[in-house]
Amino acid sequence: MNRIAVLGEGVTGKAVRETLARVDGYELVALDQADLAVASPGIPPKDYPETTIPIISEIEFAYRLMHRPDSSYRPKLVGITGTNGKSTVTALLAHMMDIPALGNFGTPLVTLVDSPTAPEWLVVELSSYQLERCFDFRPDIAVILNLAPDHFSRHDSMLGYATEKAKIFQSQLAEDVLFFNRDITLIRPLADESKGQVVFFSDQDDFSSIDLPAKMVGGHNRVNVWIATQLSERMGLPTATAQSKLKTFRGLPHRIEWVASVGGRSFFNDSKSTNPDATEKAVSSFEENQVHVIICGVDKGLDLVGLVDYLNDRVVSVTVFGDIAGRFMTTVKSQNVSVPVTEVLHLRDALKAAYSASSTGDVILFSPACSSFDQFANFESRGDQFRAVVRDLESSEVSV
């Protein structure tokens, strides 16, 4: 099965094509001539062209290439998934181990096939979109951090979403390790039956003794740091080295990222929060401050009642704009919310409203709870624009 078709023209498709051009014995062909197709994660299976040949993910294809008989590089793999926190844990571990961060983090795994210089271990962030077309993929260490409602437009239900996430450990054997959050009851039976060594943990465990790097805040990040430390130790990093490396980690952009203090208010960019659970975790990071949260983005059809109730109990004001605004405001009215909620049209208007509602010492948190594709190209662009407006305010060159 060495005649390969590629579905998708983006970063993943380009990486697969470039790999096929340099790996002996494989040929890039049209779909009607192929033995196997590799699909980009952005293409839902319902949109695949009609064909009788197998269609797999780039992650699966990379794994198969790395384990073919004449492979010159067969790395050990750590696979990390979950609804929230997977980028942070991937980045933390890559920083601690001085290894590349791959997969959903940005660089396709397939680019390291037959690498002459890559390290013993690789860490791969995995989305449900990447895992749904995995069959033989088998990380030496698999991690499922958490599971919250998301991506129902693709996976139809929470069970469907959870089932795709579980594929990260479906092929593991006795010598492999699975870190599994026991709060994920929906697929807990699958973890209980795993052939690998299962390390259970919970968000409710006591992580109060975990010290956070200087740029990180929030109890959820104590869990992330604990996981990354546990993984690094299993990968052979001395504990003292791990602790030293942690101190130099500066966090990721758009993840509860401090931007500036203006008029005594602290502004935080959490544009990466694209579901209600992520926003709730972000708000919980500021228990000692009064918080004004800004919500925006594409309505994914997720339940908003829990988020609205959570914000009503924990924040001082809410500002909302974008595609989600209409249903959010409807939910606010149905829940008899007491906290002030303001609907505006654009980001700059939202900052103006949040600033007007706030006082010295307060936190203004941009944590949208939705994906970005209504008014922004992606979450990075959304976060960049938030930073820009805050810095306009900071410099007093442009009024909010």
User: Quick one: 257-395 is in which CATH superfamily?
Assistant: Mur ligase, C-terminal domain (3.90.190.20)
Sign for the pseudo-dihedral over CA of 7, 88, 124, 115? positive
> Which residue type occupies 385?
Q
What pLDDT, on a 0 to 100 scale, did the predictor assign at position 226? 98
Quote the DSSP letter at residue 213: P
Structure tokens at 43: 């293409």
Taking residues 293-322, report their average pLDDT.
97
Q: What is the pTM of this model?
A: 0.94
Binned at pLDDT 50, 70 and 90, residue 140 comes out as very high
> Which residue type occupies 104?
N
First to last CA, the chain: 59
Whole-number average pLDDT of the chain = 96
Q: Where are the domains of the chain?
A: 75-247, 257-395
* Helix pair 219-234, 86-97: axis angle to 10 deg: 40
pLDDT 10s digits, 355-365 = 999 999 999 99
Q: Which residues contact 78 (CB under 8 A, 6 or more apart)?
A: 93, 121, 122, 123, 124, 139, 140, 141, 142, 143, 231, 235
Tell me whether domains 75-247 and 257-395 share a fold: no
CATH class of segment(s) 75-247: alpha beta
Taking residues 90-116, report their average pLDDT.
96
Query: What b/e readout covers 164-181, taking b as 16+ CB neighbours within 10 angstroms?
Result: bbbbbbbbbeeebbbbbb
pLDDT 10s digits, 166-205 = 999 999 999 999 999 999 999 999 999 999 999 999 999 9
What pLDDT, on a 0 to 100 scale, did the predictor assign at position 399? 54
What pLDDT, on a 0 to 100 scale, did the predictor assign at position 398? 47
**Rounded percentage of the chain residues whose pLDDT exceeds 90:** 94
> Which residue type occupies 332?
V
pLDDT 10s digits, 5-21 = 999 999 999 999 999 99
Binned at pLDDT 50, 70 and 90, residue 134 comes out as very high
Is 70 exceeded by the pLDDT of residue 400? no
